[in-house]
Amino acid sequence: MPHNANSHTTVIVNTRPRTWTNNKISYEQVVALAYPDDTPNPDITYTVRYSRGHDGHGTGTLTSAKTVAVKKGMVFDVVRTVRS
């Protein structure tokens, strides 16, 4: 059943439950959920991996400017790396 704008889906971001209301989520949106207080910085990069997604896209890596369909219980792991 597709989600509409009024439905709420719980996803897990870095072990914390987060409520999401759209049927897709972007790389930038996942990063913002994981690190809400971060400001853009060219020396910081993020790796976004997901699991428990929809069939055919159950696991993978989300990259900048890409989106993935959201599913209840989907897990996102976001790792922040600072370039030295």
Identify the pLDDT of residue 58.
86
pLDDT above 50 (res 3): no
**Alpha-carbon Rg for the chain in angstroms:** 13
Q: Is the model's pLDDT at 15 over the cut of 90?
A: yes
Q: What is the 3-state secondary structure (H, E, C) of the chain?
A: CCCCCCCCEEEEECCEEEEECCCEEEHHHHHHHHCCCCCCCCCEEEEEEEECCCCCCCCEEECCCCEEECCCCCEEEEEEEECC
Average pLDDT over residues 64-70: 93
Which structure tokens are listed for 3? 């989600």
